[in-house]
Amino acid sequence: MANLKEIRNRITSIKSTMQITSAMKMVSAAKLKKAQDAITAMRPYSSKLTELLQNLSATLDSDAGGAYSTQREIQKVLLVVVTSNRGLCGGFNSSITKEVLKTIEEKYSDTTVDLFAIGKKGEAILAKQLSVIENRNDIYDDLTFDNVAVIAEKLMDLYVDGSYDKIEIVYNQFKNAATQIPQVEQFLPIKPIEGGEAITNSDYIFEPSKEEIVLALIPKSLKTQLYKSIRDSFASEHGARMTAMHKATDNATELRDELLLTYNKARQAAITNEILEIVGGAEALNN
């Protein structure tokens, strides 16, 4: 059994760890509230914009949607991998890296795949196995629509000039603080509406023409889609970190209680031994 000093040192160390994990949990909880409100408010707008664009594109010929809707033979694929810059968030980053490798194995095993990294952790893990053409880890320093729009424009250019035949976004979708769902979402070309037919409505009055509306909506829709994905991932990161730090605090508390029990038992045993030695010495003197 470890001596009393060693146990005391371990208890002190665990108490320090508990303070750190508890503080990180509270910080993540505060950031999560703001991030959750942002993504919750944005989802309806993003979904409706995408739905409108798909409906309009489906009623036009293939050229009307511009270069962003051109379907090409898939020879080169770009995966935009959205992870975090920091760790201590449970399986948040590992779930994305696993999803990337799974997607490549199941869909693109015979295709050239490159990565566009957003977040240091994903790049650090996947760069050992795949080619990373660029990383934008700085986006979290100031996560705004305008800054994300710059990245979206670059991705659109890479598709239009033929550098890649398909671009997908891999990110964690926020469900709640304890649950994040890995998603693989097609970015380009614009995904046609499911079922192959557009939902037309005679109440719609198009001004200007459908073609002009589609050409104006496409860049905005794509920028919004990427911004929503990064926002989703951002909220998921704080939720995952809050949950991980909560579990770490609980585990540290349990370990501290076990060590305190061990310490008290060892201390009581030491006191008992001292009493026995004193009694034994007194008996020896009497004899």
Backbone torsion region of residue 260, taken as left when φ is above 0, otherwise alpha when ψ lies between -120 and 50, otherwise beta? alpha
In angstroms, rounded to a whole number, what is the distance separating the alpha carbons of residues 275 and 270?
9
Which residue's entry shows tokens 């905005």? Answer: 220
Residue 131: active-site member:
no
Q: What is the identity of the amino acid at 100? A: V
Sign of the C-alpha dihedral computed for residues 117, 120, 126 and 129 taken in this order: positive
Six-digit token pair at 192?
A: 């046609």
Chain CA centroid to CA 3, Å: 44
- CA distances (Å), origin 194, targets 78, 201, 222, 287: 23, 17, 18, 100
Six-digit token pair at 130?
A: 């795949």
Six-digit token pair at 107?
A: 């869909």
Q: Catalytic one among 89, 118, 156, 193?
A: 89
Whole-angstrom Cα Rg for the chain: 29
What is the spatial order of strands in the sheet that 131-135 belongs to?
131-135, 112-118, 76-82, 166-176, 179-188
Closest CA to 14 of 240, 241, 246, 258: 258
In angstroms, rounded to a whole number, what is the distance separating the alpha carbons of residues 195 and 24?
47
Tell how strand 179-188 and strand 76-82 pair up.
unpaired
Q: Length of the chain, please?
A: 287
Q: Which residues are catalytic?
A: 89
